[in-house]
Amino acid sequence: MPSLEARLARNEALFRSINERIRELAERFERLADESVAFVCECADQTCVERISLTPAQYDDIRAAPLDFVVVPGHEATRLVERVVAQGEGFVVVRKVGQAADVARRLAE
């Protein structure tokens, strides 16, 4: 059975894959880089349905680091699998640590 950290990291990777699809659709429909798009919170809670308003360029900047995920403020799992590395209006960027970082790296390949 996978560890709690591994399960949480997989949940977050699932939300990231949804956001990557949202990003692709925004590009396909010619959304400008400075127009906001509703991305999903990439937190560890598999039932989370919260949205984060970011431009595609902002999301690309966060996504460029494979261990970084964007979450709604208050959805950080800092005691378990991540630490806060940045904050913006309506969002927090967290970086995976420990076993969760290992899982995120593998899933990003």
Which pLDDT tens digit goes with each residue over 33-79?
568 889 999 988 888 889 999 998 899 999 899 899 999 999 998 77
Hey, where are the domains in the chain? 4-108
Distances (CA, A) of 26 to 23, 29, 35, 84, 89: 5, 5, 10, 27, 21
Which pLDDT tens digit goes with each residue over 70-87?
999 999 987 778 899 999
Question: What is this structure's pTM?
Answer: 0.78
Name the amino acid, one letter, at 86.
A
By the 8 A CB rule, do 29 and 21 touch? no
